[in-house]
Amino acid sequence: MAFGDVNLAEQDIRGDYDPGAGGWPTIRYFNKETGLKGRPYAKKTDDAMCDELGNEEYMQAYVEEAGGVMLCEDFDCLCDRKEGGCAKKEVDYYNKFKGEQADVIQSRLRILSGSLAKAAKKDEWMSQRVAILKLLAATSAAGGKQEL
């Protein structure tokens, strides 16, 4: 993933990008799915954009989401990066799916990811389940080892 900065006083890039929409600074991401137009960052809180992405947890989640990557290799890592660790329902959800076939995990992941993308506001529990399923999908696809 790469980050860039455009100074509109020097490079008047407007077009479909609509700088300033959704907060300042305007954040967009570009990948194979979005193409050259990219997509705007969808705010998860009512905080100012700089405060929201200044929060390490939100920034890491954004990089993982936009980059289509998982920065943890195991469930312990996923829990360690959260203040207070994982909740019991997260542990239970992980244990429920850790032995499932890859196609079952992928199917559930597609459903939850689609619902999360359509949600107007951040659904914390849905985000947690998506993160767990992404981890399980990555580790099952790599035969128990995830490559970063």
Tens-digit pLDDT profile for residues 48-58 = 888 888 888 78
The amino acid occupying position 37 is K
Position 120 scores a pLDDT of 65
Domain count for the chain, please give it. Answer: 2
Q: Is the domain of 91 the same as that of 64?
A: no
Strand partners, 39: 29
Q: Is the domain of 131 the same as that of 84?
A: yes
Q: Is the domain of 143 the same as that of 80?
A: yes
**List of residues 6+ apart from 135 with CB closer than 8 A:** 70, 72, 74, 75, 78, 146
Residue 5, pLDDT > 80, answer no
pTM of the model: 0.59
Q: Is the domain of 26 the same as that of 61?
A: yes
* Domain limit, last residue, from 54, 69, 84: 69
Q: How would residue 68 be classed by pLDDT, with cut points 50, 70 and 90?
A: confident
Q: Is the domain of 84 the same as that of 65?
A: no
86 vs 70 pLDDT, higher one: 86
Position 3 scores a pLDDT of 66
Q: Is the domain of 148 the same as that of 76?
A: yes
Q: Is the domain of 144 the same as that of 80?
A: yes
Rg (C-alpha) for the chain, rounded Å, is 17
Would 1 be classed as within a structural domain?
Answer: no
Between CA 51 and CA 97 the distance in angstroms is: 34
The amino acid occupying position 17 is Y
When pLDDT is averaged across residues 58-71 and rounded to a whole number, the result is: 79
Would 2 be classed as within a structural domain?
Answer: no
Would 79 be classed as within a structural domain?
Answer: yes
Q: Residue 84's domain spans which residues?
A: 72-148
Q: How would residue 59 be classed by pLDDT, with cut points 50, 70 and 90?
A: confident
